Structure 1
């Protein structure tokens, strides 16, 4: 029998339930929606979660398409899923948990006696480190961003190679291989020996169906390549970046981008220009390094010094 919260499934079965993580302000229990898929045959355990940040919905879109497509009778191993991690932020369509004003993916490994976010992090972390592999589904919030998979443990970590192979198998096309901030699940779980990736499925307000499609394909690539399902993934080389350069605006005004997401850039290439409301050019911002145009702000208006875009640097093929 495999359990997660109130979900419990025998071999060849699937069940859904709730993982209690505290109480709301009226004293009612707060339970995260969870699913357990227990394969008919023995195998590895995969843990997957979505909406660690409450406005990042593409991961939820992936989960709701993946789960109905998996037949437990054809599965080897177990899959544990938390469909919505940042419960409070999801309810109000915000990035951070409004109960304690915390970014959930900075709270791992959590604390069972801590704040709202720390308690949620602890409950989901315990589920994650019970697994052999972890997929933590994210997106670039509401910015515009390429579809990528992040390896956050750092190149010197003992699980780095396994995390990198998992990212390559997921197969979004791009990998950011850069040590992440403290408190990320993709930083904390490898410290417990569990290879973990952080797919950032584009950036959108609401759903982005193409990014969701890539996320669904990525999950099934992992399920096939790691023996949960029959077949193997068609693993193709990924474009890997080991760093980021961020660009702010030297002037206030309106931004016009001169390159497309995913396009290669070289030093001196114009990334964007800033004009006033009448079209008069005020600034021309160029790339400092070779790289890939990775991420941009969504709205065109900027103030002096405000973030505009990012370029992935130290790029190779993996």
Structure 2
């Protein structure tokens, strides 16, 4: 059976790319999101992938750019639907939020087809996503530095929690953040429709990071193998899981001197960072509230009072 997504249309054993029209720009010109359909020669489930719902998170785009040329529809069972760039307006200007309505796209799901720019895009992509059996929403930690991890956002009491956690383990970045996410995330909304969904957060970079992209490509292919889209064995390894997430800001302005490296274990009461003047004079010291792992850190050393510095994943175990 032929599968269509926007202007892309592919019969069994075929692949096609096109555009999903979702509105008009300020000069009245129509715009569309880049989409792809890979329709396997054999029947099977449907996987939906999307990237760049936050316009400066480009590692997911890098993953799709590398995955699609390696996919041969003749060897695939099932269908793969892809929206390569979700936040069209933010991507064009390399910003995190949609500049048309100053909205973070991954807080707009399931969207509203008659709403704001972001709500309309969310509604259009949610309509595609809910055609699938599995969803991968590719992200990164914006331009901060962060571990490569996968986020399970539905919450431990959700009926699809076990399936979402299994999907996160299969993707296999090495780390899982298992914490219920805020309303409006695709990984919160789609499980309510009965579809296991996770957010692979592929590091953090200005532009993109090749190592994080490589892990994302490996993760996508592991999902394809595990869920029967490809006829080969998936590799499952134990993941380090955090169920808590503590964020730390600067108590004073100045220059941050981090005392730990990304991924280091942190003990409660241990120094995370110091803030100094430009002359190295100490101003303040911040210690960890809990045992955990240094999960995310700001990229630039200069901070104002109260500005974000780092995050620690807590309640650590192995899954």
Residue matched to 1:178: 179
Q: 2:263, 2:159 → 1: CA distance?
A: 30
Deviation, structure 1 residue 88: 0.6
Structure 1: runs of 5+ lacking an equivalent: none
Deviation, structure 1 residue 283: 1.7
Residue matched to 2:147: 146
Deviation, structure 1 residue 194: 0.3
Deviation, structure 1 residue 231: 1.1
Q: 2:48, 2:306 → 1: CA distance?
A: 40
Residue matched to 2:227: 226
Residue matched to 1:68: 69
Q: 1:128, 1:30 → 2: CA distance?
A: 20
3-state SS of 1:242 partner: strand
Q: 2:299, 2:264 → 1: CA distance?
A: 17
Q: 1:242, 1:4 → 2: CA distance?
A: 36
Residue matched to 1:262: 263
Could you report, residue by residue, the CA deviation over 1:70-120 in whole angstroms, capped at 9, with x for unpaired residues? 000000000000000000110010111111111100100011111111111
Across the aligned residues of Structure 1 and Structure 2, the Cα RMSD in angstroms comes to 0.7
Deviation, structure 1 residue 161: 0.4
Deviation, structure 1 residue 253: 1.0
3-state SS of 1:216 partner: helix
Question: Structure 1 length as normaliser, TM-score?
Answer: 0.99
Q: 1:233, 1:255 → 2: CA distance?
A: 42
Q: 1:30, 1:94 → 2: CA distance?
A: 18
Deviation, structure 1 residue 232: 1.8
Could you report, residue by residue, the CA deviation over 1:219-240 in whole angstroms, capped at 9, with x for unpaired residues? 0010000000111221101011
Could you report, residue by residue, the CA deviation over 1:37-56 in whole angstroms, capped at 9, with x for unpaired residues? 00001111000000000000
For structure 1, which segment, 274-283 or 118-127, has the greater mean C-alpha deviation from structure 2 after superposition? 274-283
The answer to whether structure 1 residue 4 and structure 2 residue 38 are counterparts is no
For structure 1, which segment, 268-277 or 179-188, has the greater mean C-alpha deviation from structure 2 after superposition? 268-277
TM alignment of 1:260-299, pairs within 5 A: 260-299=261-300
Residue matched to 1:163: 164
Q: 2:21, 2:83 → 1: CA distance?
A: 12
Question: Structure 2 length as normaliser, TM-score?
Answer: 0.99
Could you report, residue by residue, the CA deviation over 1:249-308 in whole angstroms, capped at 9, with x for unpaired residues? 122111111111111111121111111111122222111111110011111011122111
The answer to whether structure 1 residue 56 and structure 2 residue 57 are counterparts is yes
Residue matched to 2:253: 252
Q: 1:309, 1:188 → 2: CA distance?
A: 28
Deviation, structure 1 residue 208: 0.6
List structure 1 segments (4+ residues) > 2 angstroms apart after TM superposition: none
How many positions carry a matched residue from both structures?
Answer: 318
Deviation, structure 1 residue 28: 1.1
Structure 2: runs of 5+ lacking an equivalent: none
The answer to whether structure 1 residue 106 and structure 2 residue 107 are counterparts is yes
Q: 1:268, 1:100 → 2: CA distance?
A: 42
Q: 1:228, 1:163 → 2: CA distance?
A: 18
The answer to whether structure 1 residue 201 and structure 2 residue 202 are counterparts is yes
Residue matched to 1:81: 82
The answer to whether structure 1 residue 22 and structure 2 residue 23 are counterparts is yes
